[in-house]
Chains A and B, each alone.
Chain A
Amino acid sequence: MTALRLRTELVDALIAAFVAALLALPLLGFKLTDSATGLSLDYRWPLVGYAAGAVFTGRLAIGQLRHFFGARFDRTRGQSDIYSADPGRARIMFGWALIAIALVLPWLPFADKGLVDKATLVLIYVMLGWGLNIVVGLAGLLDLGYVAFYAIGAYAYALLAKTFGISFWLCLPLAGLLAASFGILLGFPVLRLRGDYLAIVTLGFGEIIRVILQNWGEVTGGPNGINSVPRPTFFGLPFSAISPTGPTFHEFFGLPFSPVHRIYFLYYLILALALFTNIFIIRIRRLPAGRAWEALREDETACKSLGINPTLTKLAAFATGACFAGFAGSFFATRQGFISPESFSFIESAIILAVVVLGGMGSQIGIVFAALLLVGLPEWFRELEQYRMLAFGAAMVLIMLWRPRGLLASRSPTVRLGKLAEAAS
C-alpha cells in the first residue's frame, strides 16, 4: 500500500519535473543579452536542471506533508462556515484590541521611525481597502479602476494646496467631493452594465485618468509629477525646524526639534481617517442605503420589484467609495510631498482589490490582515526588489488557493430577520 502510494507520488513528481524543465527551457535555459552590436544568446542549462529538481522535491514534499497531516491540509477547510459567520463578540473584542495596539504602536519599546512609517503605509491600504469594500464587498460591483479616484484625490490636494495655499483640512473634503463627482460622472453612463462589462469600463477609466495625468503637462506636470506638495501642519503649526511665518510645532510645545514628530503625526492622521472610514461603513450598513447595497448584491431583480432604484443605489455606492479614495489620495500626497502618475498604475488597483478579496469580501478585520500581509510584509523585503514582486504574485495565487473565500469571510447580511422577529415577539 505504502509502496504503491510512493510509486504514484514518484511518477507524479517526475511528470511535474518534466513539465517544469520544458517550461524553464526557453526562458531560463537561454538568456538574451543586448549589447551595442545587437542581441546575442547565452546558455544557462544548469538553471533548467535546478528548476526541474526544485519542482520534483517540492512536489514530493507536498505529497508527503499532505499524507502526514491528512485532512488538515484539505483545501475546502474553513469554507462551510461562511454563512454562519456572525461578527460575534469575539471578533468585536478583537477589533477593539487591534485599535488599542494601533493607538499605542509608536510608543512601544521596539517601535522606531521605520516601523511607524511602514504602519502608515499599511493604514493607507487599509483605508483604501475599506473604501473599495463599499463598492465591491457591499454593493457587489467589480471596480478595477479604483486607483483613479485615489489619483484624483492626490492631484486635487496637490494642486489646490500648491496653487491656492488652501490648508489640508479644507482640501480633504474638497478632494473627496471631487473624487465622488468623478465617480458619479463615470458611474452614470455605465452602471447599468453587467458585472464584467463594468469591470473593463472601470479599468479603462483608470487608464484614461493615468494617460491624462501623464500627458496634460501644463496642469499635472506630466510624467515628472508635482514637486514640493505642501506638508501637513498641526493646526497651523508646521513640522519644520524653523518657520518664517510663526512658531513651529516643536517651538510651540517646547520640544527639541525632531523629524519624527511629523512621521508620528502622519501616522495618527491616517489612523483617524481610517477609523472614520470604518465607523462610517459600520453605521451605513445599518441604514437603508447600506442595506439596499447588500440587497442589490444578492439579487438585483428582487430589489427592483421592491422599489429600490438600482442605478441610484449603485451610483451612491460608487460615489461613496470614490470619496474615501479621494481622502486617502490627499493624505498620500501630503505624506509623500511628491506625486507622479507612476504611483497610480493598474497594479495599485489590483493590490487594493486583492486586499479586499483576500480579506474576505465584506469583512472589515479581514481587510486589515490582508493589508498587513500584502503591503506590510513585502516592506520588510524591500532590498530583494524584483524577487519581492515575484513572491508577491505567487503569494496572491497561493493565498487564494488556500482560502478561496478570503481570510475572514463574512457575507452574512448585517440585519437579520430572525433577530427582529425575536425582538418583536
Chain B
Amino acid sequence: MDYFLQQLINGATLGAIYGLIALGYTMVYGIIGMINFAHGDIYMVGAFISLIGLMVMGALGLTFIPLALFLVVLLAMIFTALYGWTVERIAYRPLRGSSRLAPLISAIGTSIFLQNYVQIAQGARAKPLPPMVRGSVDLIHTGNFQVTISYLQIMIIALTVVLMAGFTFMIRKTSLGRAQRATEQDMTMASLLGINVDRTISITFIIGASLAAVAGLMVTLYYGVIDFYIGFIAGIKAFTAAVLGGIGSLPGAMLGGFLIGLIEAFWSGYFSVAYKDVGVFAILVLVLIFRPTGLLGKPEIEKV
C-alpha cells in the first residue's frame, strides 16, 4: 500500500510533465492536423534554456531561489516560444495546404536539425545540475519504509494544475480561445469571419512551446541532468499521451499525460524498468483497439 502510494506520487509528477508537453501536440494537431514532430525537441530546447537561465541567475548572484525560479520560468517561456514561432514560420507555414505528409517530413527534418544544433552549440555530454529545491514531507512512516513527497514534486504538480486551469480558462472564455476553436473547426470559414488564421496558428505554436518550456524546466530540476537527446523519447511519450486521451482534445491530453506517467511509474515499480516503454505502448494499443479515437476523442463522422 505504501509502495503503491509512493509510485502514485512519482507517477503523477511524471504525468504532469508529460501532460504539459502533450498539450502542445494536441493543440497543433487540433488546429492544423499535423503531427508536430519537432515539439519534443522544442521541449529539449526549453530545458537547455532553463538550465542556462539558472546558471545565469547564479552568475548574477541571485540567491533567493523562488525569485530566481520565477525569472527563469519567464525567460525560458519567452525564448522557447520564440523557437516555436520560428519553426512554424519557416518550416510549416509554407506547407499549409499541401499533402498531409509534407509537413510531417519537414517536422522530422526540423527535429533532426534542432537536436544537432543543440549538440554542436552545447556539447554532447549530459549536463548535470546540483539539486536546487531540497526537502520533502513524510506522509506515512511505517517501519523502514516511508512515503515522501518532495517540495519539488509538490511544486511541479501545483504549477501544472495552475497552468492547465489557466489554459482551459483561456480556451473556453477569452476571444483568443474562441478564435482558436473556430479555426480548429473550419479554417476557411473562420478567416471569412474576420479571424486572422495565420496569427491564431502562430499563437498556438507559441503557447505550446511555452508550456513545453515549463516542462523542460521541471525536468531539469527534477532529474538534475539533461542532454540533447531527451526531446525524442519525451516527445514520443507525450504524443502517445495525446493519442491516448484522444488527439485534438485538450482535457484528453492532460488525462493522457497523467495516465502515461502513472503507467510508467507502476510498470517500473511492479514489473521491470527496462521494459517500461513496452508497457506504455502495449496499453496504448489496447486502448486504441477498444476506443479507436482515444479516451476522450470525438468519434469521427465519415461523410461521402
Question: Is B168 engaged at the interface, CB distance under 8 Å to the other chain?
Answer: no
Cross-chain contact A201 with B120 (CB below 8 angstroms): no
Considering the chains assembled together, what is the distance between the CA atoms of A28 and B293 in angstroms? 42
Question: Is A301 engaged at the interface, CB distance under 8 Å to the other chain?
Answer: yes
Question: Is A392 engaged at the interface, CB distance under 8 Å to the other chain?
Answer: yes
Cross-chain contact A23 with B48 (CB below 8 angstroms): no
- 8 A Cβ contacts from A371-402 to B: 386-387, 389-390, 392-397, 400-401
Question: Is A95 engaged at the interface, CB distance under 8 Å to the other chain?
Answer: no
Across-interface contacts of A389 in B (CB, < 8 A): 112, 115-116
Q: Is the interface of A mostly helix, strand, loop or mixed?
A: helix
Q: Choose one: A27, A40, A357; the contact of B118 (CB below 8 Å).
A: A27
Cross-chain contact A404 with B232 (CB below 8 angstroms): no
Q: Choose one: B95, B99, B111, B125; the contact of A401 (CB below 8 Å).
A: B95
Cross-chain contact B128 with A26 (CB below 8 angstroms): no
Considering the chains assembled together, what is the distance between the CA atoms of A358 and B101 in angstroms? 10
With A27-B45, A190-B285, A193-B292: A358-B116 Cβ-Cβ less than 8 Å: no
Cross-chain contact B128 with A38 (CB below 8 angstroms): yes
Interface centre among A19, A30, A40 (most CB of B within 10 A): A30
Across-interface contacts of B200 in A (CB, < 8 A): none
With A353-B108, A386-B120: A23-B82 Cβ-Cβ less than 8 Å: yes
Q: Choose one: A22, A40, A353, A397; the contact of B90 (CB below 8 Å).
A: A397
Cross-chain contact A28 with B121 (CB below 8 angstroms): yes
Across-interface contacts of A347 in B (CB, < 8 A): 112
Closest to B111 in A: A393
With A27-B117, A41-B59, A212-B278: A354-B109 Cβ-Cβ less than 8 Å: yes
Considering the chains assembled together, what is the distance between the CA atoms of A208 and B114 in angstroms? 25
Cross-chain contact B108 with A30 (CB below 8 angstroms): no
Cross-chain contact A404 with B112 (CB below 8 angstroms): no
Cross-chain contact B236 with A39 (CB below 8 angstroms): no
- 8 A Cβ contacts from A342-372 to B: 346-347, 350, 353-354, 357-358, 361
Question: Is A32 engaged at the interface, CB distance under 8 Å to the other chain?
Answer: yes
Cross-chain contact A211 with B278 (CB below 8 angstroms): yes
Question: Is A87 engaged at the interface, CB distance under 8 Å to the other chain?
Answer: no
Question: Is B239 engaged at the interface, CB distance under 8 Å to the other chain?
Answer: yes
Question: Is B158 engaged at the interface, CB distance under 8 Å to the other chain?
Answer: no
- 8 A Cβ contacts from A1-60 to B: 19, 22-23, 25-28, 30-34, 38-41
Considering the chains assembled together, what is the distance between the CA atoms of A394 and B112 in angstroms? 8
Question: Is B167 engaged at the interface, CB distance under 8 Å to the other chain?
Answer: no
Q: Choose one: B35, B109, B285; the contact of A400 (CB below 8 Å).
A: B109
Taken residue by residue from 16 to 46, chain B's Cβ proximity to chain A (1 for < 8 Å, 0 otherwise) reads as 0000000000000100000100000000010
Question: Is B222 engaged at the interface, CB distance under 8 Å to the other chain?
Answer: no
Question: Is B52 engaged at the interface, CB distance under 8 Å to the other chain?
Answer: yes
Across-interface contacts of A419 in B (CB, < 8 A): none
Q: Nearest chain B CB to A120's CB is how many angstroms away?
A: 24
Question: Is B271 engaged at the interface, CB distance under 8 Å to the other chain?
Answer: no
Closest to A404 in B: B98
With A22-B79, A197-B243, A211-B278: A405-B100 Cβ-Cβ less than 8 Å: no
Q: Nearest chain A CB to B198's CB is how many angstroms away?
A: 16
Considering the chains assembled together, what is the distance between the CA atoms of A207 and B240 in angstroms? 12
Considering the chains assembled together, what is the distance between the CA atoms of A355 and B129 in angstroms? 40
Across-interface contacts of B277 in A (CB, < 8 A): 207-208, 211
- 8 A Cβ contacts from A181-229 to B: 189-190, 192-197, 199-201, 203-205, 207-208, 211-212, 214-215
Q: Nearest chain B CB to A295's CB is how many angstroms away?
A: 15
Q: Choose one: A34, A190, A204; the contact of B127 (CB below 8 Å).
A: A34
Cross-chain contact B243 with A200 (CB below 8 angstroms): yes
Q: Nearest chain B CB to A25's CB is how many angstroms away?
A: 7
Considering the chains assembled together, what is the distance between the CA atoms of A392 and B115 in angstroms? 12
Question: Is B94 engaged at the interface, CB distance under 8 Å to the other chain?
Answer: yes
Across-interface contacts of A195 in B (CB, < 8 A): 100
Across-interface contacts of A354 in B (CB, < 8 A): 105, 108-109
With A196-B247, A207-B281: A19-B86 Cβ-Cβ less than 8 Å: yes
Question: Is B130 engaged at the interface, CB distance under 8 Å to the other chain?
Answer: yes
Q: Nearest chain A CB to B220's CB is how many angstroms away?
A: 11
Across-interface contacts of A41 in B (CB, < 8 A): 52, 55-56, 59
Cross-chain contact A32 with B122 (CB below 8 angstroms): yes
Considering the chains assembled together, what is the distance between the CA atoms of A396 and B130 in angstroms? 38
Considering the chains assembled together, what is the distance between the CA atoms of A136 and B105 in angstroms? 13
Closest to B242 in A: A200
Across-interface contacts of B121 in A (CB, < 8 A): 27-28, 31
Across-interface contacts of B236 in A (CB, < 8 A): 203-204, 207, 346
Question: Is B186 engaged at the interface, CB distance under 8 Å to the other chain?
Answer: no
Question: Is A142 engaged at the interface, CB distance under 8 Å to the other chain?
Answer: yes
Question: Is B13 engaged at the interface, CB distance under 8 Å to the other chain?
Answer: no
Question: Is B269 engaged at the interface, CB distance under 8 Å to the other chain?
Answer: no
Cross-chain contact B293 with A197 (CB below 8 angstroms): yes
Closest to A305 in B: B304
Question: Is A113 engaged at the interface, CB distance under 8 Å to the other chain?
Answer: no
With A207-B281, A396-B106: A23-B83 Cβ-Cβ less than 8 Å: yes
Considering the chains assembled together, what is the distance between the CA atoms of A136 and B45 in angstroms? 31
Closest to A186 in B: B285
Cross-chain contact A200 with B284 (CB below 8 angstroms): yes
Cross-chain contact B109 with A394 (CB below 8 angstroms): yes
Cross-chain contact A39 with B128 (CB below 8 angstroms): yes
Cross-chain contact A190 with B289 (CB below 8 angstroms): yes
With A22-B82, A41-B55: A197-B292 Cβ-Cβ less than 8 Å: yes
Closest to B243 in A: A200
Across-interface contacts of A200 in B (CB, < 8 A): 35, 239-240, 243, 284
Considering the chains assembled together, what is the distance between the CA atoms of A361 and B79 in angstroms? 37
- 8 A Cβ contacts from B75-91 to A: 75, 79, 82-83, 86, 90-91
Question: Is A77 engaged at the interface, CB distance under 8 Å to the other chain?
Answer: no
Q: Nearest chain B CB to A337's CB is how many angstroms away?
A: 27
Question: Is B275 engaged at the interface, CB distance under 8 Å to the other chain?
Answer: yes
Closest 7 CB pairs of A and B: A396-B109, A393-B113, A393-B112, A204-B281, A404-B98, A397-B109, A390-B116
- Given A346-B236, A390-B117, 5 more contacts at CB 8 Å? A31-B122, A38-B128, A214-B274, A401-B106, A404-B98
Which A residues fall within an 8 A CB radius of B?
19, 22-23, 25-28, 30-34, 38-41, 75, 136, 142, 189-190, 192-197, 199-201, 203-205, 207-208, 211-212, 214-215, 301-302, 346-347, 350, 353-354, 357-358, 361, 386-387, 389-390, 392-397, 400-401, 404-405
A-B contact pairs, 14 of them (CB 8 A): A22-B82, A25-B79, A26-B79, A32-B51, A32-B55, A32-B123, A39-B51, A41-B52, A200-B284, A204-B280, A211-B275, A386-B119, A393-B115, A396-B109
